Structure 1
Amino acid sequence: MQQHQRKQWRIPPVDTQMEEKARKHVDQLTKPTGALGDLEELVVRLAGITGQVFSDISKKGVAIFCADHGVTVEGVSAYPAEVTGLMIGNFSRGKAAVNVLAQRFQSEVAVVDVGSRLPKPPEGVLERKVRSGTANMAQGPAMTRQEAEEALQAGADLASSWKGAGLQLTAVGEMGIGNTTSASAVAACLTGKPVRRLIGRGTGLDEEGVRRKGEVITRSLQVNRPDPRDPLDVLTKVGGLELAAMAGFMLEASHLRLPVVLDGLITTAAALAAVRMEPRVRSYLFASHQSAEPGHALLLEALDMRPLISAGMRLGEGSGAVLAFPLFDAAVATAREMATFAELGME
């Protein structure tokens, strides 16, 4: 099945010649070489993805994939499972943090229900429901492999639709009470790191809650024995519908040469799964910030990615990813508008 996934998503290599052109241009700007730091790297990497020295990234969007988790019955979250549905309504009304940031930075928002327990999602929410929440992964697989594939495809479909609509820079976010537990289980399996190093307070657990979450993750891994060589098996057994959908979004976006900005722990766990399916996906992903969740730093390390922002955030929703959008705009603007030394009469 892993071979099937590799065949399905043919990820093109980035344009290294265009990267070199962009780097030469950036090095000629009126500043010391490398003085703009990460902004310079953004220009170069975007050039390799888009095939343009000055990438047009004016049309942006953040996709929020939402689903419920059966593992919440184990008491792994400080909030009840019903909050997933309430927050979907909040997104649809434009009142969540990510909505505020997206409006401020002129970004589209798509809210996608891939697996909530809501009988009917609110108006404006894309209904792509595979099932009404996962099963309790502490007692067996979170979903079937076919359901994981359907969630993967739901994410891929949105990436394809956005590419067709002319979006040029995308971000992924999520909502699902219990999903830091699933994401940490996925991270533990794919990185081989001890569970205790990966888990944090999530939605605000106390010490006892963190200990209980660690035990639930450990039990889930023992019960299901997900195969780290098969990322789809990992997503099936201890993942979530929104994690699979985000992985599918990244796979299809990379196939279409569409850059994707990651958010925190959960989106980065999905990213590691996508990269393990297709290593070239890594070239199309950007790390926005480093979450306060301890597992996030280990996931970024596994992906060899350095975040643009460190703001102590752990909200999810795609909020950190959207917060990074102005840095992308700043990078492209400086490359396009700054003078070169040649223009000053210096060679």
Structure 2
Amino acid sequence: MNRESLKAYIEQIRPLNREAMMQMEQYLDGLTKPVGALGKLENLMIQLAGAAGTVEVKTQPKVTVIMCSDNGVCDVGVSSCPQEVTATVTYNFTRGITGMNRLSEFAKADIHIVDVGVKADFSHPLIHNRKVCYGTKNMAIEPAMTEQEALQAISVGIEETEKLIEKGYEIFGTGEMGIGNTTTSAAITAALLEEEIIKVTGKGSGALDTVYHNKVEAIKTALKVHQPTIADPIDVLAKVGGLDIAGLVGVYIAAAKHGKVVVIDGFIAAAAALVAYKLAPITKAYMIASHLSKEAGMALILQHIGLEPHFNLDMRLGEGSGCPILFNLLDMAQYTLLGMGTFEDAGVDKSNYMHIWK
């Protein structure tokens, strides 16, 4: 995929179906409850209707796409975790023992594991080998990726999402695994939002003060040396981003193109959502923010895109862990609102209550 083909793909994304959204809103207003009384649950159903183009919305089956890759910036000590943990956790997703596995099982949702750039080789049917390269370069010294590598990783995200859509998946989540990726996410955020590095950089997986200092300095050096073009999200992504982030950019774009909503997990997934939004603002209509990560830049990204998180549980696990929690909320909204009785069902004259239930 090159810039031209990506642009042509993005141009195929259509706005939410307003007629379906109006029909859903009218239906919800006719249920035996005050108008809008179930708040964001109703908004979710209206968004799902707009994405699907029908009031007959489906919330099953669901899947979180987990993009896994390594980051060369780890060479300068930006994480308290050894880089080998990326490969270990990527493999552990296949064993069903991670937090993301358990949350997904509870939510009756699947995970789709993609190796887009781990510094290890896998031979497991549940790990989809789409490796662009064995991790990025050290962005503190040289650009993390070439432009073509960044575009290839975006293409991987698009292609894997389209495969899942062909299998019938209706709802998507975004997950990742890659030691050092809060550093790349903070660099992208600082560049695209033109924010101070310190305002968007957190301690990731419990980094010590010395490690945090290394992280801030690595971002500062990378942005100063490579001078990414702020108006060019692909340039920013290639110079200071990660393969996992690029892969998730493709997930957001492909899902929107095919009329599927995508749930944002935490900071890394939000950084990918920011890149997708900058490339194609229309993708926002298909995004749902799950939780407010404890990472420093998360709130700033959501504010910039114009999204509100649905909960705040002080989470910072990553892996896509916020998605299955939000999936439960979607199921609850659909089960409740499409199962409630209307005023007509209840034998109640709605007009008698409208002066109260507004």
Please give the TM-score of this superposition, normalised by the length of structure 1: 0.97
In structure 1, list runs of 5 or more residues that go unmatched: none
Pick aligned residue for 2:206 from 182, 204, 207: 204
Is the Cα contact below 8 Å between 2:187 and 2:241 reproduced in 1?
A: yes
Matched, 1:24 2:26: yes
Q: Looking at CA atoms only, which structure, 1 or 2, has the larger radius of gyration?
A: 2
Q: Which residue of 1 aligns with 2:9?
A: 8
2:26 alignment partner AA? K
Deviation at 1:123, TM superposition (A): 4.0
Q: Structure 1 residues 319, 171: closer, same or farther in 2, change over 3 A?
A: same
Q: Which residue of 1 aligns with 2:353?
A: none
2:180 alignment partner AA? G
Pick aligned residue for 1:326 from 313, 325, 328: 328
Query: C-alpha deviations, 1:167-210, integer Å up to 9, x for none?
Result: 00010100000000000000111111111111111011123322
2:248 alignment partner AA? M
Q: Which residue of 2 aligns with 1:232?
A: 234
Deviation at 1:54, TM superposition (A): 3.4
Deviation at 1:5, TM superposition (A): 2.9
Query: C-alpha deviations, 1:144-182, integer Å up to 9, x for none?
Result: 111111100110011101110000001010000000000
CA distance in 2, matches of 1:112, 1:119: 12
Is the Cα contact below 8 Å between 1:2 and 1:230 reproduced in 2?
A: no
Matched, 1:44 2:28: no
Deviation at 1:78, TM superposition (A): 1.0
Q: Which residue of 2 aligns with 1:261?
A: 263
Is the Cα contact below 8 Å between 1:151 and 1:241 reproduced in 2?
A: yes
Deviation at 1:6, TM superposition (A): 2.5
SS of the residue corresponding to residue 61 of structure 1 reads strand
Query: C-alpha deviations, 1:46-70, integer Å up to 9, x for none?
Result: 0000112131111111111000000
Q: Structure 1 residues 328, 298: closer, same or farther in 2, change over 3 A?
A: same
Q: Structure 1 residues 222, 11: closer, same or farther in 2, change over 3 A?
A: same
1:234 alignment partner AA? V
CA RMSD of aligned residues (A): 1.2
Query: C-alpha deviations, 1:228-280, integer Å up to 9, x for none?
Result: 21111111000000100000111111111111111000001001101111111
SS of the residue corresponding to residue 205 of structure 2 reads coil
In structure 2, list runs of 5 or more residues that go unmatched: 351-358
Kindly report which structure 2 residues correspond to 1:188-203, keeping only aligned pairs within 5 A, or say none: 188-203=190-205
The alignment covers a number of residue pairs equal to: 347
Question: Quick one: percent identity of the two aligned structures?
Answer: 38
Q: Structure 1 residues 126, 2: closer, same or farther in 2, change over 3 A?
A: closer
Is the Cα contact below 8 Å between 1:92 and 1:125 reproduced in 2?
A: yes
